[in-house]
Amino acid sequence: MNRKLSWMAIAAGVVIIDSIWLALDPGDFVEWKGGDPLMKAIKLVAACVLGAGVVLAAQPALSGRAPGIMPAAGDEPGPGKRQVLAVMERVADWQIAHQNQVTHHDLDWTNAALYIGMSELAAISKDAKYGKWLRDIGWKYQWQPNGHMYLADDLAVSQMYLDMYRRTGDKRMLDPTTARTEWVIRHPSASSLLIDYKDYLTLERWSWCDALFMAPPVYAQMSRITGDPKYLEFMDKEFKATYDFLYDKGERLFYRDHTFFDKKEANGKKIFWGRGNGWVMGGLVKILKELPGNAPSRRFYETLLVEMSERVAGLQDRDGYWHASLLDPGAYPNPETSGSGFFVYALAYGINSGLLDAGKSLPVVLKGWEALRKAVFPDGKLGWVQPIGRDPRQITREMTDVYGVGAFLLAGGEVYRLTK
């Protein structure tokens, strides 16, 4: 508690006690200069008690944040930091305990997003079980990416593999991803970005916005690990092609794919999917964490993250969530936590990295994190996760899925760092 604030509160308490005393019994009112010592002592104790109550009640408002959330950036770590880690572990524990009920393939993009978030938790938790759980999955599949050579979704699991490689130095964790990425670089797809789900060739490039989370960070990781610029050159070329095709510079949001260019929501607004834009912003964070400070393309990715962050911050609802449809939340009134998780992750990173003004962005992050926490059931299950899809859908509180947990853990990791 601030010493100056404490004395001010006690002084205020003295004035209040004197006023009450005088109002109740003017005849017995005793001034502080002179008078009965016993009365002075009683008044001083009462003033201290009242002053302490004033300080405690005013503390959240004076600090600029809501009570019970967490310390702001630059404050000393406190219970809020422990609270963030505790809820991250509770959510992760629930998911691990229920992973045998998940129907997605272990190496599917859905689970890959979970592993990426779990890797974030493993990096900050003192409990070694999270890293062991991830390594067991890697050894089960001999650190091989999923089946299709070009498909971004099937490379996503390599983000976790490369994290594990950097923590252990075991090249067996690295070699399969090296082989996959080098083959793709040497044999780039000639496909267009006009996606057609009946034609696999149109999925060979990053023709849908989700792909910008799945594959580009792997190439950024590979470049940092090897020091070879060819990975960044390939990533930059393909990312910018998708950006030029799917990014609406006026709205500062990404279309999910080209099939949404001419579609409209019920309110007449363009369709910009919440989780789809969350995937993009999450991918930008993962890329920026790997890029050297002097990388020629760094300014492009930083500028894009800032543009999208400023736009998305204004689309947060009053409860701290974002919705399945970013521009027509009224048509999808329930909160959506997978997109919200990615947005909190990106905004918190923006503050931590100095790209975003904390004065403007911190309230959005804290409100978003509090909303995410409220979506966690007492047993650790995360609710309000939109099922797999390519566009906004209706959601219920009971809905959950592994990629939502991954987004939650990523958000938690960056919010945790805000307390340092």
The whole domain housing 26 covers 3-60
Torsion of CA 200, 202, 206, 209, to 10 degrees: -90
d(CA 369, CA 343): 10
116 with 49, same domain: the answer is no
Torsion of CA 322, 328, 329, 332, to 10 degrees: -110
276 with 329, same domain: the answer is yes
d(CA 80, CA 2): 19
**Catalytic annotation, pick one of 210, 236, 257, 391:** 210
- One digit per residue, the tens of pLDDT, for the chain of length 420 reads 444 444 444 444 544 445 444 444 444 434 434 445 555 545 544 444 444 444 444 444 333 333 333 443 333 333 389 999 999 999 999 999 999 999 999 999 999 999 999 999 999 999 999 999 999 999 999 999 999 999 999 999 999 999 999 999 999 999 999 999 999 999 999 999 999 999 999 999 999 999 999 999 999 999 999 999 999 999 999 999 999 999 999 999 999 999 999 999 999 999 999 999 999 999 999 999 999 999 999 999 999 999 999 999 999 999 999 999 999 999 999 999 999 999 999 999 999 999 999 999 999 999 999 999 999 999 999 999 999 999 999 999 999 999 999 999 999 999 999 986
Residue 66 lies in a domain: no
In Å, what is the CA distance from 235 to each residue of 203, 212, 232, 307, 386? 16, 10, 5, 20, 29
Residue 358 lies in a domain: yes
Q: What are phi and psi of 343, to 5 degrees?
A: -65, -45
d(CA 4, CA 419): 24
- Report which residue type is found at 362: L
d(CA 24, CA 27): 9
38 with 117, same domain: the answer is no
Has 391 been annotated as catalytic? no
Q: Which pLDDT score, from 0 to 100, does residue 43 have?
A: 52
State the CATH number of the domain containing residue 302.
1.50.10.10
Could you say which of 38, 60, 82 is where a domain stops? 60
198 with 89, same domain: the answer is yes
20 with 125, same domain: the answer is no
Q: Which residues pair with 273 in a beta bridge?
A: 325
Q: Is the dihedral of CA 233, 238, 244, 249 positive or negative?
A: negative
Alpha helices by DSSP H, 98-215: 109-124, 129-140, 152-155, 158-168, 175-186, 211-214
251 with 153, same domain: the answer is yes
- Confidence (pTM): 0.82
Query: Contact at 8 Å (CB) between 161 and 180?
Result: no
Q: Which pLDDT score, from 0 to 100, does residue 420 have?
A: 63
Question: At 317, is the secondary structure helix, strand, or coil?
Answer: coil
Q: How many folded domains does the chain comprise?
A: 2
